[in-house]
Structure 1
């Protein structure tokens, strides 16, 4: 027993030393550094976009970081470009990216694009502004070459600046951190008919969101990749596969995007790859940590001009990745919540659903959430409630809850708000999908053929009907055109306006083999160019 006691004490001592060592290592090794300083005040740049994102910075302003004591004389200046609804400060506030670059010996600059002024902008407006400021930044640093480090949508803005607005002469190469080069399905969701009421209240229907729809980005890729200047520079891409902490903003996005492939909570890894670029790494980052100093070592060799023989040329794997992942198995609904009134949302659980995860987004807090099962019994709901701090649903309140061992039949979710409100409900069914919706020719066409396919092992085909909700991107939520098809599982959707983006929400419902009602939702975006 004495020997055992000595061993136990020794083990505790070793563990204590280990914990103490980890605590010491976790402390900052350097004193906090001064923030970058404002060099150029913004000019008379008009604000763009259709909704407020809460930012109050001045578009066109840019900042310079401190001069490193260990300056690498022949290194390029690192210009950090923020993403959708972001400001320049995201690279140094609660983020060690700036400090990491400074301590590595690099001069740095940071830019405010239109999104910093309160409303998001598309890649054309942001790209033109960025190009003008790149010329100023280059002159400030005695025309040293610039390497762009672009986060999220900033990567698309950067390529636009170089390809269409003449900024390429000042830039050496471009590194994109989880940029949606093929768009994001979360942008499609934000501009869909069911999300319109919520998006309108929280300011999610800006021009930047519409530009990131997968349909518009398919069009952007079709015209941009053919431009000789699109591949005149070396582009390097980084993507992530982590959704962040449970119930965080990126966790919500990760769950929604899961059926589209690996993702970082906002952008799929396939979308983060650029056809004319080279893949640096797909790593265990979420959409927030991918912009931190944790990725600096991944691209530092590129900045230094070292040869990286292990790099792989990106390929257009976007659609292939979605197809390989499998069919979506979701149901989506949404709408207004009146002040003090109760909204009753029917939920149909068929026999194939064993468990489901719910994401309920609202613009304001709810005063009550109740759920009743098909027997009329109240089921206790204790959602995990968080606020989305960034992304396509910035400022929305997210309520997450799950149900298992579900009773088959019609459930009812009752929502009540003490103020004018709106909601978006997404049900993810963790079971095999038996309904798919396919669409063709999603670029440059006036008519889109849709086809619904069901598995006869689970569904009575004669009971299936499809309803299509067509909404112009950024339009008011009530401006939706509806097509209903009860006789055929194929439908050709006309698109009335040229040079217009649309989001098409397809709701499929019918009866299963066992006679239970099912509903599934599919969301696609398309851009008509001709």
Structure 2
């Protein structure tokens, strides 16, 4: 009898649980046919940008998903918009997001922006193209409302289309999945002085990447958020905090961005917040998984304006303060011709060094040598980067605990005709330049950096800082300022042309009071007003 009562109680518990938490969607066992390419009635669009990202699709083409048998006739059409260096196929190839939307009863559409043609574009060109496609897609579906589901930079492109190109009336809501609404520090890195060799070879400096620099996006936000059309539609945002499996494609970006706060390997959680939008969640997704069926249940209740689950469950996204540039990092780069040896100085009291080396082509040999001349007994993890700002590069990652002080060496052997590297070394130690001692003030076409180093730990007479200032995308415009011999390494920088982004790379070097040399690098971008 007791066994029967327990069994009955268990059955009732299961029924009660299912009643309280019903499955939100039809079984995922039903797999739709791949989306169908729709013949475009609009003119063929030429590709934009400056560099090749490896894509070979046709910008302006779009696809219609299969109509589900359980179609909700009152639901909007879901238009999926890809991000930087991406294509429409990212939503259905090795991804269940299309299938999840289909099983939930939604009609779907997928668009190719300029990035799909091989050369990434800024939000203005992509926004204009997207606006023309929104009109076309709406007409194809008989004038039904469209809700945009945009990944990464696709969210910025979507807001540009709705704000500046007159299509807000065709769209109900916009869901942005880890979109860099305030830019990405990885874009600043791609345009830094030391990244130019690698960026040229892998195509990391397109117009789309340039537009994702922090300074450019700061100006974009100032211009857009005050525009009367900016928030005619409701925006709902999601951001991520995971980097994927250790040393996966998003791992390098996650490591680099970690000093700026939680991030998904490409975009910080702070940047995924849209000032006039509503933040739905910051969750345990990386930049790839945030655009899969995993997140669909999070935003499913916000796909139509008249079907909000609970206004009380969402909050207007706050404008979080952007973290100052990282100061416990050394960045350098250059071409690789045959064998190259890079010196990395490690001073006393460093707990761990983490070396991340990116190359355009896979190396024939890679070694880390300690100060005694012996190879480090640590496994090096090699990972091809398949998406993001540095798509196409090869990452070499190694972490060394309790490193000996002295000069370490990175030995690189390349058998490729053309190759280049970008090396980032992070030091787990007390910073010599505290965040409170980093400040920058902007005047008319000028920027002043106020850098104060710790004179109790450092040999003041040995300190120097070299400022590299370059108009973004124009390396031939680089100017340098050097200041040294004191703990205050502040400098006023002249910015020649107004309304332009300038890339700032600051190389700091010197010795500790124990006589050990050290190197640090600050990477930043500013907008000349």
TM-score by length of 1: 0.90
Cα deviation digits, residues 464-503 of structure 1 (max 9, x gap)? 2111112232235x65322211255110111112232221
- The residue number in structure 2 matching 1:361 is 358
CA RMSD, aligned part only? 1.7
Give 1:167 shift.
1.1
What SS does the corresponding residue of 2:502 show, helix, strand or coil? strand
* Larger displacement relative to structure 2 (504-513 or 288-297): 504-513
- The residue number in structure 1 matching 2:320 is 317
- The residue number in structure 1 matching 2:420 is 422
> In 1, are the aligned partners of 2:378 and 2:400 still within 8 Å (CA)?
no
* Larger displacement relative to structure 2 (103-112 or 429-438): 429-438
- The residue number in structure 2 matching 1:306 is 308
- The residue number in structure 2 matching 1:16 is none
Q: Cα gap change, 1:148/1:252 in structure 2, threshold over 3 Å: closer, same or farther?
A: same
Contiguous gaps of at least 5 residues in structure 2:
1-26
Cα deviation digits, residues 204-241 of structure 1 (max 9, x gap)? 11000000000100010011111011121111100000
Q: Cα gap change, 1:465/1:45 in structure 2, threshold over 3 Å: closer, same or farther?
A: same
C-alpha distance in 2, partners of 1:306/1:233? 14
> In 2, are the aligned partners of 1:195 and 1:334 still within 8 Å (CA)?
yes
Residue 133 (1) aligns with residue 136 (2):
no
What SS does the corresponding residue of 1:228 show, helix, strand or coil? coil
- The residue number in structure 1 matching 2:12 is none
Give 1:352 shift.
2.7
> In 2, are the aligned partners of 1:435 and 1:520 still within 8 Å (CA)?
no
- The residue number in structure 1 matching 2:463 is 464
> In 2, are the aligned partners of 1:72 and 1:105 still within 8 Å (CA)?
yes
- The residue number in structure 2 matching 1:10 is none
What SS does the corresponding residue of 1:298 show, helix, strand or coil? helix
Give 1:407 shift.
1.3
What SS does the corresponding residue of 1:238 show, helix, strand or coil? strand
C-alpha distance in 1, partners of 2:396/2:444? 39
- The residue number in structure 1 matching 2:29 is 30
C-alpha distance in 1, partners of 2:87/2:43? 17
Report 1:355-394 matches (<5 A): 355-380=352-377, 382-394=379-391
> In 2, are the aligned partners of 1:237 and 1:272 still within 8 Å (CA)?
yes
- The residue number in structure 2 matching 1:473 is 472
C-alpha distance in 1, partners of 2:308/2:143? 22
C-alpha distance in 2, partners of 1:417/1:362? 10
Give 1:380 shift.
4.5
Paired residue total: 494
* Larger displacement relative to structure 2 (201-210 or 461-470): 461-470
Report 1:434-513 matches (<5 A): 434-436=432-434, 438-441=438-441, 445-476=444-475, 480-487=478-485, 489-513=489-513
Cα deviation digits, residues 418-462 of structure 1 (max 9, x gap)? 1221001011112222224734346x8410101112123322333
Contiguous gaps of at least 5 residues in structure 1:
1-27
- The residue number in structure 2 matching 1:203 is 203
Q: Cα gap change, 1:76/1:518 in structure 2, threshold over 3 Å: closer, same or farther?
A: same
* Larger displacement relative to structure 2 (518-527 or 268-277): 518-527
> In 1, are the aligned partners of 2:441 and 2:449 still within 8 Å (CA)?
no
Give 1:378 shift.
3.7
What SS does the corresponding residue of 1:258 show, helix, strand or coil? helix
What SS does the corresponding residue of 1:316 show, helix, strand or coil? coil
Q: Cα gap change, 1:489/1:328 in structure 2, threshold over 3 Å: closer, same or farther?
A: closer
Give 1:31 shift.
4.7
C-alpha distance in 2, partners of 1:159/1:473? 24
TM-score by length of 2: 0.90
What SS does the corresponding residue of 1:456 show, helix, strand or coil? coil
C-alpha distance in 2, partners of 1:146/1:31? 24
C-alpha distance in 1, partners of 2:327/2:247? 21
Cα deviation digits, residues 166-203 of structure 1 (max 9, x gap)? 01010111110000000000011111111110010011
